[in-house]
């Protein structure tokens, strides 16, 4: 006998209750942006019903248009919608801070103790699990976004474009947005996805912020609010950069890190993997803050810790601050931690400005097909991009030395088992990563 769906709206959520959830999310947000968005959908749309499916996807589509980590921006957006600017700052900040503290600790262990077999074994099991998580997230987002043959076609074309022709992500976004805009004018039925009370329609029950819930007063557009957010954001950037200039000068490592990662933050269309070549070129080749091998190790740490994958920049900052001894040889850990914190600040500050300044404009577009159709098309295109990312992971995990190297059957089996656990048994992310880490450690120690 099936469980009856809820018919009543959830009780209003206080700021303290929301804070506890955002803190929890910061520690369980594994799996990269796709996995993190899937976790938020399961928690906020399906289980807690704080926001409806339609409003959730509307916010997600906007965040996908922006440079920066879309999952962190989505958390900021929902926190802002529920509890004003401080709600957004807390939601977005707690999405990042646990990852920052964990990466500082792991980076210190990495530099102080070098390669430890136990750590290598844990990573050996986690990497195949991350592959399965990305594939599962592509499926979950695809089942919501690919509602007809046209959307499937956009996703397929996006996959072919990035897989076969290495098309830049911004070009895919622009092409999908153009298709959606033209579709809203010539084939509106194709892009008018959903309608009515989507939470109830999906079987979740009515949401606290449902499809037809009026936009709260603080989320309505105001020119004064827009100018205030822009002024505060610019003021914070100028204050920190000015302090670095006055303290250490333009050519100092910390100042150059601040300037470099301010530019990198504006280039992260499509997530961390879109900007990693730029970060690698600058941090490794131009400034030589760390080596190429260290950069790859940092990416592995970023893949296996909670928070946005772009948090790999904190590892770059820590290693660079340590090796450049930014506060002197007697304060290596303190200097490295300061560098990691500054890099994180400059990387994420634009994301908060984009959401707090642009959110009210986005809230005026509910139900306006000219705006929502391009975003729906972009979501479909992103499904193809995520599928390509899953294949990218699988290739590098199963053939770690390339096509000419040995096929790693154990890693492939872990990926298959993790995929079955996610699709068939609905295993939680944290439990899955823990089990795969244990298996990887066992295989490594037995070899």
Q: Is residue 140 part of a domain?
A: no
User: CA-to-CA distance for 360 and 229, rounded, in angstroms?
Assistant: 12
User: CA-to-CA distance for 429 and 422, rounded, in angstroms?
Assistant: 8
Q: Which residues pair with 51 in a beta bridge?
A: 209
Residue 330: per-residue pLDDT: 92
Q: Is residue 313 part of a domain?
A: yes
Q: Is residue 181 part of a domain?
A: yes
Q: Is residue 144 part of a domain?
A: no
User: CA-to-CA distance for 153 and 222, rounded, in angstroms?
Assistant: 39
Q: Is residue 162 part of a domain?
A: no
User: CA-to-CA distance for 158 and 169, rounded, in angstroms?
Assistant: 9
Long-range contacts at 417-424 (CB < 8 A, ≥ 24 apart)? 418/128, 418/129, 418/131, 418/132, 418/133, 419/132, 419/135, 419/136, 421/132, 422/132, 422/133, 422/136, 423/136, 423/139
| Phi/psi at 411 (5° precision) | -65, -40
Cβ–Cβ < 8 Å for 125, 436: yes
Q: Is residue 430 part of a domain?
A: no
Q: Is residue 264 part of a domain?
A: yes
Tell me the two tokens of residue 114.
Answer: 């070098």
User: CA-to-CA distance for 75 and 367, rounded, in angstroms?
Assistant: 22
Residue 446: per-residue pLDDT: 86
Residue range(s) defining the domain that contains residue 252? 13-116+167-193+222-384
Q: How many other C-beta atoms can be found within 10 angstroms of the C-beta atom of residue 352?
A: 23
Residue 371: per-residue pLDDT: 65
Q: How far is CA 51 from CA 46, 115, 317, in A?
A: 9, 44, 36
| Phi/psi at 251 (5° precision) | -85, -5
> Comparing C-alpha atoms, which of 261, 256, 255 is closest to residue 313?
261
Q: Which residues contact 44 (CB under 8 A, 6 or more apart)?
A: 50, 51, 56, 78
Q: How close are the terminal C-alpha atoms of the chain, in Å? A: 49
Q: Is residue 418 part of a domain?
A: no
Residue 365: per-residue pLDDT: 67
Residue 103: per-residue pLDDT: 92
Residue 191: per-residue pLDDT: 75
| Number of domains comprising the chain | 1
Residue 336: per-residue pLDDT: 96
User: CA-to-CA distance for 69 and 310, rounded, in angstroms?
Assistant: 7
Cβ–Cβ < 8 Å for 297, 284: no
Tell me the two tokens of residue 266.
Answer: 């504006």
Q: pLDDT 10s digit of each residue in the chain, 447 long?
A: 445 566 778 888 899 999 999 998 888 776 667 678 878 888 898 888 899 888 888 888 778 767 778 889 999 999 999 999 999 999 999 999 999 999 999 899 888 875 567 777 877 887 788 788 778 877 877 887 788 888 899 999 989 998 888 787 668 878 988 998 898 888 887 776 544 334 444 567 788 888 888 888 888 888 899 999 999 999 999 999 999 999 999 999 999 999 999 988 886 655 565 566 678 778 888 899 998 768 867 776 776 678 887 888 999 999 999 999 999 999 999 999 999 999 999 999 999 999 999 888 877 766 566 666 777 788 788 788 778 877 877 887 898 877 788 899 999 999 999 999 999 888 877 688 789 989 999 998 887
């Amino acid at each position: 006998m099936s469980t009856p769906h809820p018919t009543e709206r959830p009780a209003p959520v206080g700021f303290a209750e929301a804070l506890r959830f955002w803190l929890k999310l910061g520690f369980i947000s594994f799996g990269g942006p796709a996995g993190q968005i899937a976790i938020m959908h399961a928690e906020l749309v399906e289980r807690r019903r704080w926001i409806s499916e339609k409003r959730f996807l509307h916010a997600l589509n906007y965040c996908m248009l922006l440079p920066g980590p879309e999952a962190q921006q989505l958390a900021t957006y929902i926190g802002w919608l529920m509890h004003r600017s401080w709600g957004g700052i807390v939601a977005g900040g707690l999405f990042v801070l646990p990852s920052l503290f964990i990466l500082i600790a792991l980076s210190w262990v990495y530099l102080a103790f070098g390669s430890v077999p136990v750590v290598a074994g844990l990573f050996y099991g986690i990497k195949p699990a991350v592959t399965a998580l990305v594939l599962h997230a592509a499926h979950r987002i695809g089942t919501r976004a690919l509602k007809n043959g046209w959307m499937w076609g956009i996703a397929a074309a996006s996959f072919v474009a990035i897989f076969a022709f290495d098309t830049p992500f911004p070009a895919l976004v622009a092409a999908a947005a153009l298709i959606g805009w033209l579709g809203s004018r010539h084939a509106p039925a194709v892009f008018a996805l959903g309608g009515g009370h989507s939470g109830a329609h999906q079987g979740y029950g009515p949401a606290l912020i449902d499809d037809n819930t009026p936009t709260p007063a603080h989320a309505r557009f105001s020119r004064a609010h827009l100018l205030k957010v822009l002024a505060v954001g610019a003021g914070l950037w100028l204050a920190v950069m000015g302090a670095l200039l006055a303290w250490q000068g333009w050519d100092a490592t910390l100042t150059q890190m601040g300037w470099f990662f301010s530019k990198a933050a504006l280039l992260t269309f499509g997530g961390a993997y879109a900007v990693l070549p730029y970060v690698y070129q600058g941090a490794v080749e131009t400034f030589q803050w760390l080596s190429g091998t260290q950069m790859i190790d940092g990416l592995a740490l970023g893949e296996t810790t909670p928070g946005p994958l772009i948090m790999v920049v904190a590892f770059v900052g820590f290693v660079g601050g340590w090796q450049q001894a930014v506060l002197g040889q007697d304060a290596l850990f303190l200097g490295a931690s300061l560098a990691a914190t500054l890099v994180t600040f400059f990387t994420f500050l634009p994301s908060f400005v984009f959401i707090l300044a642009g959110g009210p404009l986005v809230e005026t577009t509910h139900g306006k097909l000219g705006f929502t159709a391009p975003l729906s098309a972009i979501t479909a295109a992103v499904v193809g991009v995520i599928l390509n990312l899953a294949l990218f992971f699988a290739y590098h995990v199963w053939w770690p030395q390339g096509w000419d190297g040995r096929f790693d059957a154990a890693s492939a089996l872990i990926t298959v088992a993790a995929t079955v656990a996610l699709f068939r048994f609905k295993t939680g992310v944290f439990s899955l990563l823990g089990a795969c880490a244990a298996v990887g450690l066992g295989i490594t120690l037995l070899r």
